[in-house]
Structure 1
């Protein structure tokens, strides 16, 4: 890493949780991976309809490569009852990296999600044998009768993480987009086959920052100040099983600025500058490369993108655009990014 005074030189980052959508939105957001400092993207499968087979994942990958070939796309399948051990072996042979589990109804495009994990044990056994990664959206559905809401849905899920790890100790499991101190503590307590992604926005936000503010509203929601501090502490520590997964999730401006705003924060176009500014504020710029570039690659066993050279960030006073827009056959597509119109202390040269 270069001197942290005026410039910062890093390998390109690896984002181990990103939504690239499909259609016009896919064509608009995929090129911004590189402009945000990323050359490895772990792509989520919750399209409509979801990506459930090897063929569908490979077709989706080909579409993404045609748009931005300088990025390595690691593809995933959506965990549904139709997924079989035979399909897992087929997917692994084709280079599919993992399987994503969404509890039913907890976030965008999760209607086909999981209600109980026991029926998937044969699939998990096949994944363990093939070396595929299980990615867990770590929440349970809200249920007022059981006292479950968005603020404790992650903590209520954590016993499942422990159960799955104990049942499949060789299966690599990633708890996605952690938001609580309880999640940090749980992952730390488990073995080396359990990792955890943390987003740029959850390192910045608490509950007051999204309540009534649709462009900071995501699932899982940001929690309490002590939860945010636990996330910050673990990245400042440089713990090797906690790494970048942006959960960058673009939605059109009109579907965010409405009575029932879609859940998702769009960070892709300035992902590394967001992180550099925050790590600088936290006085831990020396931990940025491990978090954003090294630890995730190491956990997944991929070296993609490390031979490409480096990117350079420059200290400055860069203003995040107020909106990203693209012309389509049906008019203009507009997406408002995280921290729109705010100044960041770092930008990519």
Structure 2
């Protein structure tokens, strides 16, 4: 297949940051129609008013259709969450286990502490997005997603069976199996977890621009993710988790977690689907499954992907005083987006 036209995709997990970084990276998601925007700023987006103000900054920076989220804390007001959703200001609420990833210090330490918020969300139909890792330092970093499924997510699902759940950036075969076993739960899959595994990050030298959280896993988990993404199953959909950091913060003694994939995300997904002989299912994964999960219509407009010469990509985005290094999959990309 040399050309493919699909409904315009959406990104169901995107970091845009704020200030100069927001102005630098917001236009780089131009291939996407809408995007669920993460609220882990400093300070985080925790109230209805915070979400309204952040949305205005995003639109002014060059991304026209952000779908806002609130950062769930142990002090979150249930009524504020419900009113923000009813007003159309937010699409979902994000649960970060405290200390799990970038700017997650304000996150949840105990599910019991947010039980009232979860019950109100369940009753009002407010979706919950989850960073699925436990944070106990005694648990190996490669096992933290699997432990989250057993220790947190399974009890949460049992206690709130009607709560709309999205398990973001799944990274393991266990997570894929869990989602398949729980109808109605959605899961996003990132560019980097489809294109790479921990050998790509660690073998022959540490590659900091492959470092993200949840961390890249074994090859067998990568294979499970590729099978899930290209299966056509409605539970799995596109969420880049594109997470920009200044180049100096990535190439540091203690480097920041995140892969900046937004400018090349759709070309990367097409590359994977081509390798898996599944280009006919790219539209479902990229453009249809996510809107269906969130109860939204798919985008009316389309994009056309054509296979041609290797993309000529800059190694970095340098603008607004920011330098952000682009994720490099380690091989040429041939899918051009029109």
Output the TM-score relative to the length of structure 2. 0.95
Verify: 1:344 aligned to 2:336, yes or no.
no
Cα drift, residue 136 of structure 1: 0.7
Cα drift, residue 68 of structure 1: 2.3
Count of residue pairs the alignment pairs up: 332
SS in 1 for 2:51: helix
> What pairs up with 1:195-274 in 2 under 5 angstroms?
195-211=186-202, 212-274=206-268
Verify: 1:154 aligned to 2:145, yes or no.
yes
Aligned residue among 273, 293, 305 for 1:279: 273
Counterpart of 2:171 in structure 1 is: 179
- For 1:262 and 1:119, the matched residues in 2 are separated by 29
Cα drift, residue 8 of structure 1: 1.3
Counterpart of 2:158 in structure 1 is: 166
Kindly indicate whether the alpha-carbon contact (under 8 Å) linking 1:319 and 1:342 is maintained by their aligned counterparts in 2.
Answer: no
SS in 2 for 1:17: strand
Unaligned runs of 5+ in 1: none
| CA-to-aligned-CA distance 1:4-61 (integer Å, 9 cap, x gap) | x221111111100000000000001101111xx2011100000000000000001000
SS in 1 for 2:46: coil
Kindly indicate whether the alpha-carbon contact (under 8 Å) linking 1:321 and 1:340 is maintained by their aligned counterparts in 2.
Answer: no
Cα drift, residue 342 of structure 1: 4.4
Kindly indicate whether the alpha-carbon contact (under 8 Å) linking 1:238 and 1:291 is maintained by their aligned counterparts in 2.
Answer: yes
Counterpart of 1:319 in structure 2 is: 312
Counterpart of 2:4 in structure 1 is: 8
Cα drift, residue 143 of structure 1: 2.0
Kindly indicate whether the alpha-carbon contact (under 8 Å) linking 1:17 and 1:41 is maintained by their aligned counterparts in 2.
Answer: yes
Kindly indicate whether the alpha-carbon contact (under 8 Å) linking 1:158 and 1:183 is maintained by their aligned counterparts in 2.
Answer: yes
Cα drift, residue 321 of structure 1: 2.0
Kindly indicate whether the alpha-carbon contact (under 8 Å) linking 1:266 and 1:336 is maintained by their aligned counterparts in 2.
Answer: yes
Cα drift, residue 301 of structure 1: 0.7
Verify: 1:62 aligned to 2:44, yes or no.
no
Cα drift, residue 340 of structure 1: 6.8
Kindly indicate whether the alpha-carbon contact (under 8 Å) linking 2:71 and 2:94 is maintained by their aligned counterparts in 1.
Answer: yes
- For 1:166 and 1:142, the matched residues in 2 are separated by 23
> What pairs up with 1:269-308 in 2 under 5 angstroms?
269-303=263-297, 306-307=299-300
Kindly indicate whether the alpha-carbon contact (under 8 Å) linking 2:82 and 2:126 is maintained by their aligned counterparts in 1.
Answer: no
Q: RMSD between aligned alpha carbons?
A: 1.3
Counterpart of 2:67 in structure 1 is: 74
- Relative to structure 1, the CA distance from residue 232 to residue 343 in structure 2 (aligned partners, 3 Å threshold; closer, same or farther) is same
Unaligned runs of 5+ in 2: none
- For 1:141 and 1:83, the matched residues in 2 are separated by 21
SS in 2 for 1:259: coil
SS in 1 for 2:10: strand
Verify: 1:52 aligned to 2:46, yes or no.
yes
| CA-to-aligned-CA distance 1:310-345 (integer Å, 9 cap, x gap) | 11111012133211111x3xxx31111111784202
SS in 2 for 1:99: strand
Output the TM-score relative to the length of structure 1. 0.92
| CA-to-aligned-CA distance 1:175-196 (integer Å, 9 cap, x gap) | 110000000011111132x111
Aligned residue among 85, 93, 97 for 2:78: 85
Question: Structure 1 stretches (4+) deviating beyond 4 angstroms?
Answer: none
- For 1:300 and 1:340, the matched residues in 2 are separated by 30
